[in-house]
Structure 1
């Protein structure tokens, strides 16, 4: 794949750290990588955004942020309240396509979930993915409630005719509870898509060197890593 769109089932599910893991794994394999953040919300002009965090952890990636809004809100709402121009889905697709001319992998990291609005006309990350014809990777939480939100996201992807690459658990707990362990088996069933990785909780606090060394072990071969879904599921079932 040249462009991979990365969305979450909501906020705070580990989307940025997962994006960094995918980027770091690709860099370790010798691929050139760009990370596009269409709309960054909740940060001041002088603060580091999600794309900056990906670059800090993953290494020498090209980063591009199309718009930044100060309040931690959905992009359309944040743009409206700040009196700034919103991001349009076609602008996201055009920027990703341009980055793809000079990079072997472009990661487009959304804001929150798949249908979070970029503008007041209802443009979303799903629309950008459709324009790009790019696969969508869904980052989900581990615990109770994730089956519903992840299945809803999967249904929407299929309803729109989008290529659903699979699911990564974005913050796998050090001491997983019963629901989290059962969800490892249930997520592929309810989504009809493979589980492509599990990123351990707290990995954003690793040094960049340690993060880059470990990242491939959190992701399946489909994402360039060495993570074994069958072995992981077997351990969770014990």
Structure 2
């Protein structure tokens, strides 16, 4: 009888080493099945040359800024691409020594990245060459915008040429307007160029 009890004890009572292995296996399984929020936040979304890295946490902070301070809305894939573009443009702003004005007061840490990205795009657009033919065509098609004698003339069917600002005087306003029209297209092209230059890869779409 005592021998039978001993056999049962040996058969069913796990040793300390066996218990340790079982607990360790269980903890590893739980850790693998349910990654922590911290792990998700540090997930790398994009990486490139010269130390360029964008994590999920960076994107969530940017998303939080837009949710809180702007009416900006888009789908997750588009926002992911926009976020990578924002951080890449901000990086270029630093490289070109573009500084924000002293009057700039960031509403949020992410706001600084957004402002630097916009400042970099403004610099690119400032140097963007506009075809003189396009400028003149806009002037002729929207002549009512370039009156030199006030809005009263707009009531007339025929506006005398003498009432119009000369093309050279209107050129700066026209260029500003046209650059606003091409802003998104230029941003998309510059983003693709920078992705190639820095060999950026990751979980985002490279094109609009």
Which has the larger helix fraction?
2
TM-score for both structures, normalised by structure 1: 0.19
TM-score for both structures, normalised by structure 2: 0.20
